[in-house]
Structure 1
Amino acid sequence: MEGKHHYFFAVKLPSRVKEAIHQWVIKNKQQFPFKRWVHPEDYHITLTFLGFQEKDLLSRAIDTVTDSFINIQPFLLTLNTFGTFGKESEPRIFWLDVEHSSVLKNIQEKVYNQCTNLGLSLDKKPFRPHITIARKWNSSEPFQRSLLNKYNADEPFCFQVDEVVLYETHVDETPKYKVVHTFKLQ
């Protein structure tokens, strides 16, 4: 597989959002015995997972996807509720989602469609915007869905999205996601 790398387009979260989520993790981690907690610098919202790609196809994807951001202004997202993917009693992913955003959905659809038009074979699962916080339930006791709640239910936590990035994964490093290209919203 030499010459190929693992990539994905994502919403890059502002530092203050990463820090707020990390503070929640520090306070609540004991209630949720997951095996691996995501490094705060790796928090993001995946738009389109590209997998392993050759450099020339990746360059074409960057050029093509740039059009997705023409006339897209920065927009607001609000942290919402916690959830899981996988078996209910032993989830494989613990996440925090955001309230519905038609702008985010529109950007994701454009990026996805432009990548498939280039011939990239992409995951066909429906888009479910979320921030992965932890992986692999690690307890003999089943996961208790009743522990899940809204993030900061007392007041909404809103943040502005002003850039989308292309990340490259470095599985043996912490943090493991490196920005390859940045797309500014204007």
Structure 2
Amino acid sequence: MEKRSHYFFAVRIPEHTKLVMRDHMEKIKEMIPFSRWVHYQDLHITLAFLGGAPPDKLTEADKNVRNALSDETALKLNINKLGFFGSVTSPRVFWADTEESTHLQTIRKKVFSACEQAGFQLETRPFRPHITLARKWMGEHPFQNDMLKLWEKLQPMPLSFDAIDVVLYQTHLNKTPKYEAINIYPLTHKHIK
């Protein structure tokens, strides 16, 4: 029996970037022990996590987000380093970071507001754009901050990609990859900053 689905809005990572990330993750995995690594097809930047969403609220959020993003343009993002959430010695989430982008912050605010207007109670912590790579440290020794320098060795220059759409994903916990794109919200291609 499948657990109740969760839904979230996210920036989709393009396929060619996911493949580069997959190769980097394979190398990182050999040196940094986390118990659960994200399938490369599931890589994304979460904008708003809805949780288990009633159909009427989901329909309203879909409509609101589509309207909110109707005049938004595509943007260039740069993956430039690794980071973590949780304990310094035993992180719970290991992620890749993107360089600061005011355009991404604007898109996130629009998506977040559109979901709130549909009646969703969302996470109130400040938005920290990231791409989750793995969860739950399981090393025999404490995590070392030097491990974060691995990214610079694998990717000396930032890994750039064009974010051309936002996606509403549904989670399927019994599948791999586990995120299914339900709706796509194209960001117009007038110009990429």
Range class of TM-score, shorter chain = over 0.9
How many correspondences in the alignment? 185
Report the Cα offset of residue 164 of structure 1: 0.5
2:7: which partner in 1?
Answer: 7
Displacement of 1:153: 4.8
Q: Which runs of 5+ in 1 are unaligned?
A: none
Contact 2:91 2:136 in 1 (8 A): yes
Q: Which residue of 2 aligns with 1:134?
A: 134
Alpha-carbon contact 1:92-1:135 (below 8 Å) kept: yes
SS of alignment partner, residue 6 of structure 2: strand
Secondary structure in structure 2 of the residue aligned to 1:11: strand
Secondary structure, in 3 states, of the residue corresponding to 1:134? strand
Hey, what's the Cα distance between the residues in 2 that align with 1:154 and 1:165? 29
Could you tell me whether the CA contact under 8 Å between 2:80 and 2:157 is conserved in 1?
Answer: no
User: Where does residue 112 of structure 2 map in the other structure?
Assistant: 112
Task: Note the 1:70-149 alignment, pairs <5 A.
Answer: 70-149=70-149
Q: 32-41 or 66-75, which moves further after superposition?
A: 66-75
Unaligned runs of 5+ in 2: 189-193
1:28 counterpart = 2:53: no
2:177 and 2:156 map into 1 onto residues whose CA distance is: 31
Report the TM-score, using the length of structure 1 for normalisation: 0.94
In structure 2, what is the equivalent of residue 164 of structure 1? 166
Measured after TM superposition, the shift of residue 140 of structure 1 is 2.2
Instruction: For 1:65 and 1:36, locate their aligned partners in 2 and report how far apart those are by CA, in whole Å.
Output: 31
Separation (CA, whole Å) in 2 of partners of 1:73 and 1:117: 22
TM-score, length-normalised on structure 2?
0.91
* 64-73 vs 42-51, greater mean Cα deviation: 64-73
1:107 is displaced (CA, Å) by: 0.5
The whole-number CA distance in structure 1 between the counterparts of 2:142 and 2:55 is 43
Q: After superposition, what is the alpha-carbon deviation per residue over 1:53-88, rounded to whole angstroms, capped at 9, x for unaligned?
A: 111110111001112212211110001110111111
For 1:16 and 1:108, how far apart are their aligned partners in 2? 23
User: What's the counterpart of residue 176 of structure 1?
Assistant: 178
Match of 2:56, SS?
helix
Give the aligned CA root-mean-square deviation in angstroms: 1.6
Q: Offset of 1:156 from its aligned partner?
A: 2.5
4+ long deviations beyond 4 Å: 150-153
- Which position in structure 2 is the counterpart of 1:41? 41
Equivalent AA in structure 2 for residue 178 of structure 1: E
Match for 1:7: what amino acid?
Y
Q: Partners of 2:162 and 2:178 in 1: how far apart?
A: 24
Q: Which whole-Å CA distance do the structure 2 matches of 1:38 and 1:145 have between them? A: 21
Q: Deviations over 1:142-178 (max 9, x none)?
A: 0011110244552222110101000000011100000
Q: Aligned equivalents of 1:10 and 1:58: distance in 2?
A: 15
